[in-house]
Amino acid sequence: MISMSEIKMQSESVQEKVTNVSAELALAQEESIANQGENDQFEIIAAAQEQAKKQAIVQENRKKEEARIAQVKTQEDARRLAEVKAKELARDERAKLEAQLAAKEEVAEAEKVTSAAADDDSLDEKENLVFRNIIFDFDKSDLRLLSQKELDKIYAYLDKNPKYVLQLDGHADWIGTVEYNLSLSERRAKQAYKYLRVKGISDERIVYQFYGEALPVAPNANADGTDNPEGRQLNRRCEFDLKEEGTADIILKF
């Protein structure tokens, strides 16, 4: 027969085991919660790292695209700069060629005038007198040497014939805007006007007008659309309209 003391001991043993089991269960539960927290933390960290990688890829792609756009822009700027330089070079070359052509024309014209004067000594002064247009370099209003000589002839005629008055008409070729060419033709007419005023012709006997590119005397371009430097040279001119004061009759022109 089991004594009370044994029963008590057995009861205490069972109670101790229950307590130990409860403690083990609680510990296991705590470990499980802790492990779950660590797993959640690892997942968050992994997700953040993945998001960072994606952002880094996006930023890298953006930088590459910006670099490509910058390269394209640089190439486009370089192309435009090259085009501008090419146009400037072509313009300078064209101006140089036209200046050379004008110099040759001046020499030939001077020789022609000298020869004509020698051959026509028998003619009276009025019949032998010829005034020619003065022409200008590209985009210039400076008077050439031959132009000054032509203006000297006009001055001499006006000085000897005080009843005559002079109208100067300035013109331009068609390169440039309409507004710019109008201003350029005005400067050309003014140059001739000032030259004669300085020589001594009174303001009442000289007037000037300007027409820009509106009244060409030669084609600015060839029939096939290409540039016509010779024609444009003739259009860069100043014409003279010489008449007796109080009349409308044109005595000499061109």
Q: Which of 163, 103, 171 is nearest to 133 (CA)?
A: 171
167: left (phi over 0), alpha (psi -120 to 50) or beta: beta
Interatomic CA distance for residues 182 and 169, integer angstroms: 12
Residue that has been written with the tokens 């109080």 in this structure: 246
φ, ψ dihedrals at 201, nearest 5°: -75, 130
Per-residue pLDDT for 31 more than 90? no
Per-residue pLDDT for 59 more than 90? no
Residue-wise pLDDT for 93-111, tens only, equals 666 666 666 666 655 655 5
Looking at per-residue pLDDT, the higher value among 182 and 95 belongs to 182
pLDDT at 229: 95
- Please give the average per-residue pLDDT across 234-243, as a whole number: 93
Confidence of residue 197 (pLDDT cuts 50, 70, 90): very high
- Please give the average per-residue pLDDT across 219-242, as a whole number: 94
- Check residue 80 and report its DSSP letter: H
pLDDT at 3: 66
How many CB atoms within 10 Å of residue 199? Answer: 14
Per-residue pLDDT for 218 more than 80? yes
* Runs of H (alpha helix) within the chain: 4-119, 125-128, 145-160, 178-199, 229-235
CA angle 10, 14, 15 (to 5 degrees): 115
Residue-wise pLDDT for 128-160, tens only, equals 456 788 999 999 999 999 999 999 999 999 999
Paired tokens of 154: 């006009």
Domain 129-244 in CATH 3.40.50.720? The answer is no
Sorted by sequence, the CB contacts under 8 Å of residue 189 that are 6+ apart come out as 168, 169, 170, 208, 209, 210, 238
Looking at per-residue pLDDT, the higher value among 198 and 56 belongs to 198
Domain boundaries, given as residue ranges, for the chain: 129-244
Per-residue pLDDT for 251 more than 50? no
pLDDT at 80: 74
pLDDT at 69: 81
pLDDT at 138: 94
Per-residue pLDDT for 125 more than 60? no
Confidence of residue 253 (pLDDT cuts 50, 70, 90): very low
pLDDT at 117: 45
Per-residue pLDDT for 78 more than 90? no
pLDDT at 84: 65
Compute the mean pLDDT over every residue in the chain, rounded to the nearest whole number: 78
Looking at per-residue pLDDT, the higher value among 35 and 215 belongs to 215
Interatomic CA distance for residues 242 and 99, integer angstroms: 29
Per-residue pLDDT for 249 more than 50? no
Confidence of residue 25 (pLDDT cuts 50, 70, 90): confident
Share of the chain above pLDDT 70, in %: 66
Looking at per-residue pLDDT, the higher value among 162 and 114 belongs to 162
